[in-house]
Amino acid sequence: QYPFHASQHQLGDRPVLSGEYVCEHPPYKVLMVSQSPLVIYIQNFLTTDERAHLQRITKDTFTRSGVTSNNNHNNKDKSSTTNNHNSALRTSQSTTLPPSDPIVACIETRALLFQGYDTPRSHLEPLQLVKYAPTEHYHFHTDWFTSPGSEGNNRVTSFFAYVHVANGTTGGGTNFPRLGEVPAEGRWCDEGILDCDAEWEKGVTFRPVEGNAVFWVNLLPPDGKGGRVGDERTLHAGLPVTGGGKIGLNIWTREGPVAERTGL
């Protein structure tokens, strides 16, 4: 019933007084897809109430998605997430979630804990929702930058969670063309996690399933010489939605503090 128990539940005709929202993490299930690059599939990462809440607080706030200028050497950390090139590469609509919202903060905490105890909240970019109508897509890209604005400020990890998938949606999978075959792939297909239709045979395609998420590590392990470089094998795309619609959630963790959050 959480997180809306306060308003929904009545004790007799007396409203429940303790209206405080309590951040609880659902018992999600993890399945390893690939060890290298590390890719993990997470079932029930977002609860039904959380998904409804995210949609409610972002209603009418979506604007045309931006694309990071990946190869711009002057690309300051700040601009890398805030510049909004309109691009045929990414035809969706996006919006940023307020970190001050307690439910958003709870999802952030979950994403931080998933990665161990050493990732500070300041390394998270503000969470982003992305919405696709039919024909909309995000062409093949990596989430890491070829020239991050400052050393140590690349995107180490990504979560892409499915917040809403309209009934009868077709297309809209998340495709990783360079991932090898998943062991026991047939079972993943049967369980509705992977789309194994011939059309998207290349690599691995996750079907959009509400509440579930894909997590991966964007950067190669440290080489002892300082900076970490991007892993080309994490190339991926949001395939065109061909019917229905999808809303996804990006959670990006940087190597260092994020300007938008720290005001630096």
Ligand X SMILES: O=C(O)CCC(=O)C(=O)O
Please give the residue ranges that form the binding site for ligand X (CB under 6 A).
130, 138, 143, 160, 174, 236, 238, 248, 250
Cβ of residue 185: shortest distance to ligand X, in angstroms?
Answer: 19
Secondary structure of residue 198 in the 3-state scheme: helix
Using the minimum distance from each CB to Fe ion, give the nearer residue, 77 or 143.
Answer: 143
**What's the Cα-to-Cα distance from 61 to each of 15, 93, 245, rounded to whole Å?**
31, 9, 17
Cβ of residue 197: shortest distance to Fe ion, in angstroms?
Answer: 21
Contact 198, 187 (CB under 8 A): no
Using the minimum distance from each CB to ligand X, give the nearer residue, 47 or 158.
Answer: 158
Token digits for 82? 């805030």
**How crowded is residue 260: how many other Cβ atoms within 10 Å of its Cβ?**
16
Using the minimum distance from each CB to ligand X, give the nearer residue, 3 or 248.
Answer: 248
- d(CA 105, CA 19) in angstroms, rounded, equals 17
**What's the Cα-to-Cα distance from 25 to each of 3, 102, 224, rounded to whole Å?**
11, 13, 36
- d(CA 136, CA 175) in angstroms, rounded, equals 15
Cβ of residue 131: shortest distance to ligand X, in angstroms?
Answer: 10
Of these, 125, 143, 195, 231, which contacts Fe ion (CB under 5 A)?
143
Using the minimum distance from each CB to ligand X, give the nearer residue, 23 or 67.
Answer: 67
Closest-approach residue to Fe ion (CB) = 143
Using the minimum distance from each CB to ligand X, give the nearer residue, 3 or 239.
Answer: 239
**What sections of 24-116 are H helices per DSSP?**
48-58, 77-82, 102-114
Cβ of residue 250: shortest distance to ligand X, in angstroms?
Answer: 5
Span interacting with Fe ion, options 42-50, 137-145, 176-184, 186-194, rule CB under 5 A: 137-145
| 125 lines the binding site for Fe ion (CB under 5 A) | no
Span interacting with Fe ion, options 13-21, 94-102, 140-148, 255-263, rule CB under 5 A: 140-148
Contact 40, 30 (CB under 8 A): yes
Kindly list the residues in this chain that would bind Fe ion in the complex (CB under 5 A): 143
